[in-house]
Every structure is written in C-alpha cells, then in structure tokens.
Chain A
Amino acid sequence: MHPAFSVIFLTTLIGAAQGLFLALFTTQTYAAFKLLPQPDAHAFYGQGSLLALVLLVAGLVASFFHLGHPERAWRTATKWRTSWLSREVIVLPAFMGVVFLYGLAHWLDWHPLLMTLPGELPLDPTAILGVAGTVLAFALFLCTAMIYACLKFLAEWHSPLTVINYVLLGGASGFSLAAAFAAFTAPELVSFLAGWAAIITLLGLFGRSASLYRNARLKPKSTLQTAIGIKHPRIVQKTQGFMGGSFNTREFFHGQPIAVLRGIKWFFMLAVFPLPLLLLVSGMQGTMGLLVAAFVVQYLGLLAERWFFFAQANHPQNLYYQSIA
C-alpha cells in the first residue's frame, strides 16, 4: 500500500495521546491507593490532559488531509453498525470530550466527594471521567486497529497482532511522553512512569517482532491464476491496459526499492524499542533531556514504523497491475 502521511500522523499522534491519558489516569489511580505521591493536580493532570488534547486535535486535523471531501466528514458517523472507520469517527471525539472534561475538572480543582468506596477511597468526578476515558482510549485503539485488521485481503494486517501492536505502541509512546512531561511537572513520578514506559516498550518489541515474523512467512492467498481464473503455472502480464498511471498504480504501491523498505524497518526497530529503552532507563532519575529524547526518538521511530506498516501490506489487486506496455 502507499503510505499516506495523513494516516501515519493520525494514528501515531492519537496513539501517543491515548497512551498519555492512560498514564495520567494510571497515576491518579495509584495515587488514590496511596501507592504514589499525589502530584500537583493543576500541573500534572490539567496540563497533561491539555497536552493529550493537543495531540488528539493534531491527529484529527491530519486525518482530514486524507479525505477528498472533508466538508462531508460528519456523514462518517452514520454507518457504525458495519464500519470500523465510522466507529473510530464516533469514539475519537467522544474520547476528546472526556479528556477535555477530565483535564478541566482537575484544572478547576473540582473534586466534590460523590461517595466513599470501601477502604476509605474517595470517589470524585475525575475518577468517573478517568474510567470513562480509559474505556474510550481502549475502544479507540480497537477501532483504529480494526480498520486495518478487518480487511481480510490484506493478510499483513488481518491479525490480532495488529490490534495488540496499536495498543502497545500507542501506550509505549504515551507513557514515554508522560515520563518526559512528569520530569517538568511532577519529578516524583518520573521513575514510575519511565519504568512503565520501558515495560510497555519491551512488550511492544515482542508484539511488533511477532508481526514481522508472521508477515515474513505469509503465503499470498491470491495468485495470478486465481486473479484471472487460468490454471497454467506460468502467466505473465503483458499490459495492464494503459500506459500512464492510474489510481490503482498510485494507491496500492509504495514505489520504493526493497533497500529503502529494509532500511526503514531497521531504523524503526532501533528507534522505537532499544534506543528509547536505553534513554528511559538512564533518565529514570529525572534527567529531562534524556526523557524528552526518549519520547522524540520513539515518536520518530513510530512514524517510520507506521510507514512500514502500510508499505508492507501487499494488496491482491496488485496482481492486475504488474506491467506497463
């Protein structure tokens, strides 16, 4: 497939935002159980939610560049019964709304006691919003990944690993960002967040390696024989029917030599996993520069990872577009 930068930015930006929100609410939950010191709610949760919101808006803006008719985007909410894309379009604004309210409640110090849970656990609106946001964050990971995973023709995507990796890679970049952000706003949380970022990055390494291993061993279900229905083992396309390009030759081919593909794979395998891991572990004591570098390197790596994700998918329609004459 031809990797579209609009979608690359959409999926990586909102993935990081979802991970960041999950990191914020994980911290709040730990703090509620007194497993972590209570950070400055204004700075950490309030500004953290704002940061997540900025990433979500940036992702949403990027996604509009993928559309031929952005002014009709509102129509996409109508077919949620059948289309994962439609579901994503519903869940994304819902998640943005909850992140906004969650951040606002913390920003305004709006903590009226709704009830006390067993174990002297106070329940305020931010906890309810946090749970709702967590559910929506995972729902959004599921929707985004299922857009690709549900396409059975694209064998490289049609796997539970796609969903697992969207969750893990979004989570890893979000927790890295949270660790870097905490270095500025809540230094006492850095080691906790950087630790989790490292763990999720490590899990992501396993998940992505598993999908690379799987994809390298895929056998295409469709062949030229089934594509035109002729059983002979040797079929060669002489012409695809036209001399110039078409939508079919632009949209479904990445157009890069195999060396570029391989180079990008090795770049992201380094930049998404071992390098940030190293930076996170060495920055665990709160070194701002190292933590920011960890997130930046990981995010750049994720851009390459997403590019590769699209480029690697081999669409069966390509069988029909092999030769120009």
Chain B
Amino acid sequence: MTQLALVIDLNVCVGCQACVTSCKEWNTAGSAGPMVDQNPYGADPTGTFFNRVQTFEVGEFPNTETVHFPKSCLHCEDPPCVPVCPTGASYKRKEDGIVLVDYDKCIGCKYCSWACPYGARELDEQQQVMKKCTLCVDRIYDMSMTEDDRKPACVKACPTSARLYGDIHDPESAVSIAIRESGGYPLMPEWGTHPANHYLPRRKTRIKIHEDELERADNPLKVDRQLPKPAMSEPTLDDVTTW
C-alpha cells in the first residue's frame, strides 16, 4: 500500500517561505482553490494557507539555534480528523494515503479542526469549507507534466531541497531512506496518529580540512626550479587561470 508523504529536513530549511508562496500560488489556481485572502492590504490581513513556515529559537543566548519549521497537514496514517466528520467530507484515500476534504460535502462545522492536534486545517472564510494540504493531488498525477514536475509545488519550490517527497511505505524510496538513515521523526507521537510526514533533525555540520587542501598537493612548497620562484604574496596558478 502506498503512503505518499513529505520529509522535511530541518537541517537545511532556511525559512525563506518559498514553499509557502509556491503552495498558495499553485493551489489557489488549482482544484483546491481559491485560497481566499481577506483584507489583504488592510490592518488585519488574514487568509487560507496550506503550509506555514514558523521559526523557533532553541537554547539560551549565546548558545542558540534558529530552527525554521515548515508545517502543513501530515497526512496521518491514523487520521483523527476523518472519523469525526459527520458527512464523510473528510476522507483518507486508500490508494495513496492522502487525506482530503470534499468541498461539496463539507458543511463547515469545524469539528475536524478540533480533532487535529496539529492545527493543520483551516476554514476558508469565503467558501466556508475546511481546507488543508492536498499534497498537490491535482499535480502529482497530471500526466501532461514531465515526471520531474509531478511533485507537490512546495517540493519543487524549495531552493535548499529541504523537502523530499515520496512513498514512505516503499523501503527503497528516497524518503524512506532519509527517515531511516537521517533520524526522521514524526510530530507529537504521543497521540498515536502516526503522521506520514516526517522531519529530519538538525545535525552538526563539521568539515575536516586536510593540509593538502590548503597547499597544492602536486607542488606543496611552491618550489619550481625551472621558473622564477613567485613571491608568497603573489597569486598562485589557481587564482589566475581557469585551466
């Protein structure tokens, strides 16, 4: 059985909000749209988003780390929002595990949003139906696109490749390997919702620089009897030519 999901690498997310705007751009024009903004240029703007990037500060000054945290529907394997829906508008697709809302059946009672511990659902103020991330279901199966484009808009937009997309039930997929080998974890595991989306933790990045990387290995002491010896302050061959 397939379970499509995102794996978000907190180690490389820079909080640029490109996934937020790309998501909104695609989905407001796609089958899940419009994602209405209210009072966009006023004092108190508000609007529907499927994806938000939040920022947390971890630790105490000066030993702090800034963590940018993209947050969208986690497409839980045991979604608590689905059974509470009185109309069946909220459902989880058997074929790929995506949790969706049928806007034609939703009555806007907001009960599913109460039943989601992650706050992943937002009521659209104009359409008065519950909206949430669709994992770009109108994009990932669009055969008129090239295979490389058949990915969620947020994944395509991420400039640091912090967002991976794939089937977490396929042990050989890139997302499964990332979860397995880079310590992927789910959010709020205490509720037993088994979120499909996973996050990769921050890691210490260390670079080991060897001596021969600072000096040219093939001529470590800049000794060359055939040519006049250049002064140490002069540019080396690496700096003046592109080979």
User: B-contacting residues of A (Cβ < 8 Å)?
Assistant: 1, 66-70, 72-73, 75-79, 82-86, 89, 147, 150-154, 221-222, 224, 226-230, 232, 234-248, 251-252, 315-318, 320-321, 325
Q: Are A229 and B105 in contact (CB under 8 A)?
A: no
Q: Are B86 and A86 in contact (CB under 8 A)?
A: yes
B243 within 8 Å of A by Cβ? no
Closest 6 CB pairs of A and B: A68-B108, A68-B128, A317-B119, A241-B52, A82-B83, A86-B86
Q: Are B67 and A230 in contact (CB under 8 A)?
A: yes
Q: Once bound together, how far apart are the Cα atoms of A235 and B67, in whole Å?
A: 10
4 additional contacts, CB 8 Å, given A70-B107, A222-B191, A316-B191?
A: A83-B84, A151-B114, A244-B44, A316-B188
Q: Are A68 and B109 in contact (CB under 8 A)?
A: yes
B174 within 8 Å of A by Cβ? no
Q: Are B188 and A73 in contact (CB under 8 A)?
A: no
- Encode B93-125 as 1/0 by CB contact (under 8 A) with A: 000000000000111111101111111011101
Q: Which of B39, B71, B89, B127 contacts A241 (CB 8 A)?
A: B71
Knowing A151-B114, A251-B113, A252-B119, say if A235 contacts B58 (CB, 8 Å): yes
Q: Are B66 and A228 in contact (CB under 8 A)?
A: no
Q: Are A68 and B107 in contact (CB under 8 A)?
A: yes
Max chain B Cβ within 10 angstroms of own Cβ: one of A78, A150, A230, A237: A230
Closest to A88 in B: B86
Closest to B69 in A: A228
Knowing A67-B108, A68-B107, A230-B201, say if A78 contacts B119 (CB, 8 Å): no
Contacts of A69 in B (CB 8 A): 106-108, 128-129
Q: Which of A241, A251, A316 contacts B54 (CB 8 A)?
A: A241
Q: Are B119 and A321 in contact (CB under 8 A)?
A: yes
Q: Are B202 and A83 in contact (CB under 8 A)?
A: no
A249 to chain B, nearest CB (A): 9
Knowing A66-B109, A241-B53, say if A227 contacts B188 (CB, 8 Å): yes
Q: Are A222 and B46 in contact (CB under 8 A)?
A: no
Q: Are A83 and B83 in contact (CB under 8 A)?
A: yes
Contacts of B115 in A (CB 8 A): 151, 153
Q: Once bound together, how far apart are the Cα atoms of A76 and B45, in whole Å?
A: 32
Q: Once bound together, how far apart are the Cα atoms of A242 and B52, in whole Å?
A: 8
Contacts of B105 in A (CB 8 A): 72, 75
Closest to A250 in B: B46
Knowing A238-B55, A320-B118, say if A68 contacts B49 (CB, 8 Å): no
Q: Are B54 and A320 in contact (CB under 8 A)?
A: yes
Closest to A229 in B: B185
Knowing A241-B20, A242-B49, say if A79 contacts B86 (CB, 8 Å): yes
A296 to chain B, nearest CB (A): 30
Q: Are A153 and B191 in contact (CB under 8 A)?
A: yes
Contacts of A86 in B (CB 8 A): 86-87
Q: How many residues of B contact A (CB 8 A)?
A: 62
B9 to chain A, nearest CB (A): 12
Q: Are B187 and A228 in contact (CB under 8 A)?
A: yes
Can you list 6 A-B contacts with CB-CB less than 8 angstroms, sorted by A residue number? A75-B107, A153-B115, A221-B191, A230-B202, A234-B59, A320-B119
Q: Are A251 and B123 in contact (CB under 8 A)?
A: yes
B80 within 8 Å of A by Cβ? yes
Knowing A79-B85, A241-B20, A320-B119, say if A72 contacts B107 (CB, 8 Å): yes
Closest to A66 in B: B109
B36 to chain A, nearest CB (A): 11
Knowing A153-B115, A246-B122, say if A240 contacts B54 (CB, 8 Å): yes
A297 to chain B, nearest CB (A): 31
Contacts of B20 in A (CB 8 A): 241
A232 to chain B, nearest CB (A): 5
Closest to A89 in B: B86
B199 within 8 Å of A by Cβ? yes
Q: Once bound together, how far apart are the Cα atoms of A154 and B84, in whole Å?
A: 14
B60 within 8 Å of A by Cβ? yes
Q: Are B122 and A248 in contact (CB under 8 A)?
A: yes
A228 to chain B, nearest CB (A): 5
Q: Are B71 and A221 in contact (CB under 8 A)?
A: no
B158 to chain A, nearest CB (A): 16
Q: Are A67 and B107 in contact (CB under 8 A)?
A: yes
Q: Once bound together, how far apart are the Cα atoms of A229 and B191, in whole Å?
A: 14
B190 within 8 Å of A by Cβ? yes
Knowing A147-B111, A153-B115, A241-B71, say if A79 contacts B59 (CB, 8 Å): no
Q: Are B119 and A248 in contact (CB under 8 A)?
A: yes
Q: Which of B44, B47, B55, B84 contacts A239 (CB 8 A)?
A: B55
Knowing A68-B123, A221-B190, say if A76 contacts B107 (CB, 8 Å): yes
A180 to chain B, nearest CB (A): 34
Contacts of A241 in B (CB 8 A): 17, 20, 52-55, 71
Q: Are B52 and A240 in contact (CB under 8 A)?
A: yes
Closest to B20 in A: A241
B129 to chain A, nearest CB (A): 6
Q: Which of A76, A85, A316 contacts B117 (CB 8 A)?
A: A316
Contacts of B69 in A (CB 8 A): 228
Q: Once bound together, how far apart are the Cα atoms of A33 and B96, in whole Å?
A: 63
Contacts of A246 in B (CB 8 A): 46-47, 49, 122
